[in-house]
Amino acid sequence: MMAGGRPTKYKPEHDELLIKMMSQGKSVVQFCAAIGIARKTFYEWVKLNEEFSNTFIRAKTLCEAHWETELQSMMYDNKVNAPLVKMYFTNRFNWTDKQQVDNTSSDGSMTPKQITRVIVDAESSDSDG
């Protein structure tokens, strides 16, 4: 049973199908469409069923490996739309370009300055005078 009282549509066979589909590069959305469930239901299964959750972790790895292999085969093809491929991997697998930005200027005019804050105790300054 699901949390809302309705019987679940989950079946142990879904684990095998998820592995099969994602190892071929298919997405969670494509898996959900194939078995007729909503994406929300899929993630409820992941949350509530430890075995399915573990299957999903393995399936994601297989899926990414599939697409890495595809990317390697496309790497030197000048007909490939590189920005589209980059966007796909960024959105699908959270790939990022690590960038470090140096915000200082060559003449030092934009170098952050250290600010020192001095707190004067009002009682001790009054008693001195």
Mean pLDDT is lowest, of 2-6, 32-36, 45-49, 70-74, for 2-6
Asked whether residue 3 is domain-assigned, the answer is: no
- CA–CA separation, 19 and 110 (whole Å): 53
Q: What is the pTM of this model?
A: 0.65
Residue in the structure block whose two tokens are 């930005």: 101
Asked whether residue 121 is domain-assigned, the answer is: no
Asked whether residue 30 is domain-assigned, the answer is: yes
CB 26 within 8 A of CB 12: no
Residue type, 85: V
Structural domain count of the chain: 1
- Residue 44, pLDDT > 60, answer yes
Asked whether residue 8 is domain-assigned, the answer is: no
Q: What are phi and psi of 78, to 5 degrees?
A: -75, -5
pLDDT recorded at residue 129: 46
Asked whether residue 71 is domain-assigned, the answer is: yes
Domain holding 40, by residue range, is 13-93
Percent residues over pLDDT 90 in the chain? 46
Asked whether residue 103 is domain-assigned, the answer is: no
- Residue 101, pLDDT > 50, answer yes
- Residue 31, pLDDT > 50, answer yes
